[in-house]
Amino acid sequence: MKLTLYTDYSLRMLVFLGAKEEGELSNIKEIADAYNISKNHLMKVTHELGKLGYIETIRGRNGGIRLAKKPSNINIGEVVRKTEDDFHIVECFVDPGRCSITPICGLRHVFAEALQAFLAVLDRYTLNDFLADKDMLRIFLESDASIM
């Protein structure tokens, strides 16, 4: 199973904003530069994370983006569920009729159980769990230290 870039970028944005001082504003360019990713992709992520209530956007000359919730209130499993398109690990999750052995196959149930276990692990963590060393995180995000 592979998460979409959209979910990856959503998590990265939340980590970036969580590493900032509480209430400190950032902008998309800063985040794009820190991770060397597309500003256009991040604009879409910003819009969606705002609609979902994870971040708030402040318009205007001195505007920017920041977390709308405390990092301890942002559950990673919830974020992944809300940003992933689907969790169709195998074709029979989408269309059980496409495979001739679906009625007797045990794989579908094993993959469903594995998916639930995957999400259960993510549910045990909040954004705060990834911000333990904010000072070091900021060093990596604000410089080229991430390529060491």
pLDDT per residue as tens digits for the range 78-121:
999 999 988 887 776 777 777 788 778 888 888 889 999 999 99
> Higher confidence at residue 124 or residue 1?
124
Backbone angles phi, psi at 64, to 5 degrees: 165, -160
State mean pLDDT over 59-78.
Answer: 95
Q: What is the pTM of this model?
A: 0.87
- As a whole number of angstroms, the distance between CA 125 and CA 121 comes to 7
- Better-predicted residue by pLDDT, 60 or 1: 60
Assess whether pLDDT exceeds 50 at residue 12.
yes
Using alpha carbons only, how large is the chain's radius of gyration in Å?
Answer: 18
- pLDDT computed for residue 144 by the predictor: 56
Q: In this structure, what token pair is assigned to residue 42? A: 């991040």
3-state helix, strand, coil in the chain (%, to 5): 60, 5, 35
Two structure tokens written together for 102: 């679906």
Residue 109: strand, helix, or coil? helix
